[in-house]
């Protein structure tokens, strides 16, 4: 029960890694606000864990500020922010449109910036907070992902900077960089490439030292560690969770 008495807000919580994180934190005592631009899956996650579901597009400042205010109003405080909202719009550079660039940068980078800025007010006031941003191994470079890899590398810099700015207020800020995780996102990538998802997973697993792809729970457990007081002296770090170095 590492999160007894704590309130967590998870963006992109309706599916995949965000949903697994919301469920794990609730199991360990947190009250959880499950936020997603698609409110129906968010409500499906929030229901069984007695959380609240909030419709929020993280690219919209007004919606983000309202999401944070509603969390504090209905759940009493805000201790933990996990930013999982994410999309891909992959293409080789010569085919990547302005819209592909803007959509990905806005969702990951601007979205996380808006959420962190809205959340820090409460965390600074109470001199306690944990933020975890979802980066990716694509931050190290990945063909067809100029937009996504730039955003995911940017999030690591954002976490390091906010760790410096918010550390004096007892707020830890870290990022987690997953490799291949079996979610709607990787399924959509396989579909776009015209590859059967099972074959796609086998191919990915063969490149991973642990010889399997990740599951959302593999990532949620590391996010939870970084949001718990067990990692109280860890800040500004990125943990790669990819079944190998
Ligand atoms: N799946 C992977 O292999 C993998 C690897 C590395 C990093 N990640 C990152 O982990 C995070 C979660 O990914 P996932 O695999 O669980 O994906 P997912 O598609 O299963 O879930 C992402 C959720 O984000 C929501 N979302 C998208 N845009 C949004 C917006 N503007 N505002 C609010 N919500 C929005 C979607 O509705 C969806 O429910 C993402 O940031 C992703 O980039 C995933």
In this predicted model, what pLDDT tens digit does every residue of 64-108 receive, in sequence order? 999 999 999 999 999 999 999 999 999 999 999 999 999 999 999
pLDDT tens figures, 113-170? 999 999 999 999 999 999 999 999 999 999 999 999 999 999 999 999 999 999 999 9
Query: Phi/psi at 124 (nearest 5 deg)?
Result: -65, -45
Cβ of 113 closer than 6 Å to ligand 1, yes or no, is: no
- Residue 87 Cβ contacting ligand 1 at under 6 Å: yes
H/E element holding 239? strand 238-241
Q: Cα(54)–Cα(33) distance, rounded to whole angstroms?
A: 7
Which residue shows structure tokens 């959880």?
32
What's residue 125's pLDDT? 98
What's the pLDDT score for residue 20? Answer: 98
Q: Of all helices (H) and strands (E), which one includes residue 98?
A: helix 98-105
Is the beta carbon of 59 within 6 A of some atom in ligand 1?
A: yes
- Active-site entry in 94, 128, 148, 240: 148
Q: Is the CB of 13 within 6 Å of ligand 1?
A: no
Work out the average pLDDT over 1-12.
98
Q: 7-180+217-241 sits in which CATH class?
A: alpha beta
84 C-alpha vs ligand 1 centroid, how far in Å? 5
Say if ligand 1 is within 6 A of residue 11 CB.
Answer: yes
What gap in Å lies between CA 105 and CA 91, rounded to an integer? 14
On whether the CB atoms of residues 239 and 176 are closer than 8 A, the answer is: yes
- Output the residue whose Cα is nearest ligand 1's atom 16: 16
DSSP 46-62: HGGGT-EEEE--TT-HH
Per DSSP, what are the bridge partners of residue 145? 91
pLDDT single digits (tens) 106-124: 999 999 999 999 999 999 9
**Distance from Cα 87 to the centre of ligand 1, integer Å:** 6
Ligand 1 pocket: which of 9, 10, 14, 17 to mutate (most atoms <8 Å of CB)? Answer: 17
Other CB atoms within 10 Å distance of the CB of residue 8: 29
Give the DSSP per-residue string, 168-228.
GGTEEEEEEEE-SB-SHHHHHHHHHHT--HHHHHHHHHHTSTTSS-B-HHHHHHHHHHHHS
Contact residues for 168 (Cβ-Cβ < 8 A; gap 6+): none
Dihedrals φ, ψ of 139, to 5°?
-60, -25
Q: What distances in angstroms separate CA 171 from CA 30, 112, 159, 191, 234, one per listed residue?
A: 18, 16, 11, 40, 10
Atom nearest to 42 CA in ligand 1: 39
Tens-place pLDDT, residues 176-218: 999 999 999 999 999 999 999 999 999 999 999 999 999 999 9
Q: Is 94 a catalytic residue?
A: no
Q: Is the dihedral of CA 128, 134, 228, 158 positive or negative?
A: negative
């Amino acid at each position: 029960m590492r999160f007894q008495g704590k309130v967590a807000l998870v963006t992109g919580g309706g599916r995949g890694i965000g949903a697994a994180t919301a469920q794990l934190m609730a199991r360990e005592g947190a009250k959880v606000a499950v936020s997603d631009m698609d409110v129906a899956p968010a409500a499906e996650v929030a229901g069984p864990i007695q959380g609240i579901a909030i419709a929020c597009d993280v690219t919209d400042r007004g919606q983000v500020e309202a999401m944070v205010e509603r969390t504090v109003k209905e759940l009493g405080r805000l201790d933990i922010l996990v930013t999982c909202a994410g999309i891909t719009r992959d293409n080789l550079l010569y085919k990547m449109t302005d819209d592909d660039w803007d959509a990905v940068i806005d969702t990951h980078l601007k979205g996380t910036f808006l959420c962190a800025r809205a959340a820090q007010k409460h965390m600074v006031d109470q001199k306690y907070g944990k933020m975890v941003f979802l980066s990716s191994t694509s931050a190290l470079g990945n063909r067809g992902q100029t937009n996504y890899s730039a955003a995911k590398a940017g999030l690591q810099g954002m976490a390091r900077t906010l760790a410096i700015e918010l550390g004096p207020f007892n707020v830890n800020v870290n990022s987690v960089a997953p490799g291949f995780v079996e979610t709607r996102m990787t399924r959509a990538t396989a579909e776009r490439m015209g590859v059967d998802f099972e074959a796609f997973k086998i191919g990915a697993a063969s490149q991973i030292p642990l010889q399997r792809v990740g599951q959302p729970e593999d990532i949620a457990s590391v996010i939870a560690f970084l949001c718990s007081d067990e990692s109280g002296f860890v800040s500004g770090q990125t943990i790669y969770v990819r079944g190998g170095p």
